[in-house]
Amino acid sequence: MPIAALVLAVIAVCLAAYAALKPAESAPTDTADAAESTDTSASPDEAKATICTAVETVRKGVTLNTNLSVPGGPTDVAGNLAVAANARLSLSEGGQYLLARLDPSTPGELHDAVERFANVLMDIGANATAGLPISEPAQAARLRDADSISRSIDPLCA
């Protein structure tokens, strides 16, 4: 069991390193290329449906991965590292996932709330990766903010 947890931890670290180090896609450099690009914005209703589905997916992922039990119990060091890595990844990647699916045509109040939620999730994940415990006041405040913003999204997606 400890070997499986160690393997999961190594995989999580590799995925995080890949995500952090992969080159960004380049923007069009020629004005003609930019002029030829088409507007791919969805209708406000489509954008709302897409982002509300994405929010629900992220909530499920964050809830699942921040509440995992360590397979070998509290003394399983590798298991603890793997569970912590999954929690951090779900927060950071969840925020990035939301920002990537946030369409400009998303209704304004929903757009702003999801953008704030995504950024707070990434802040929580980054600070957790830096070793900040949830008991630290600033991190605890971020967690409360994320919960409050998440709840404010519900009526906007109804």
Q: Tell me: the pLDDT tens digits for 77-129?
A: 999 999 999 999 999 999 999 999 999 999 999 999 999 999 999 999 999 99
Residue 151 has pLDDT above 80, yes or no: yes
Q: 34 in a domain, yes or no?
A: no
- Burial of 80: CB neighbours in 10 Å, binned 0-12, 13-18, 19+: middle
From the list 70, 136, 128, the residue with the least C-alpha distance to 94 is: 128
- The residue-averaged pLDDT of 13-22 equals 55
Tell me what pLDDT residue 137 has.
96
Residue 25 has pLDDT above 70, yes or no: no
Cβ atoms 106, 48 nearer than 8 A? yes
Q: 90 in a domain, yes or no?
A: yes
Tell me what pLDDT residue 42 has.
80
Q: 35 in a domain, yes or no?
A: no
Domain count along the chain: 1
Q: 73 in a domain, yes or no?
A: yes
Distance of CA 129 to CAs 26, 53, 105, 147, 150, Å? Answer: 28, 27, 33, 20, 22
Query: Which range has the worst mean pLDDT, 20-29, 80-89, 96-105, 143-152?
Result: 20-29
- Structure-model confidence comparison of residues 36 and 85, the more confident one: 85
Cβ atoms 156, 110 nearer than 8 A? yes
- The residue-averaged pLDDT of 26-31 equals 51
- Structure-model confidence comparison of residues 26 and 145, the more confident one: 145
Q: 61 in a domain, yes or no?
A: yes
pTM of full prediction above 0.75: no
Q: For residue 111, what are the domain limits?
A: 2-21+44-157
Q: 32 in a domain, yes or no?
A: no
pLDDT band, very low/low/confident/very high, at 37 (cuts 50, 70, 90): very low
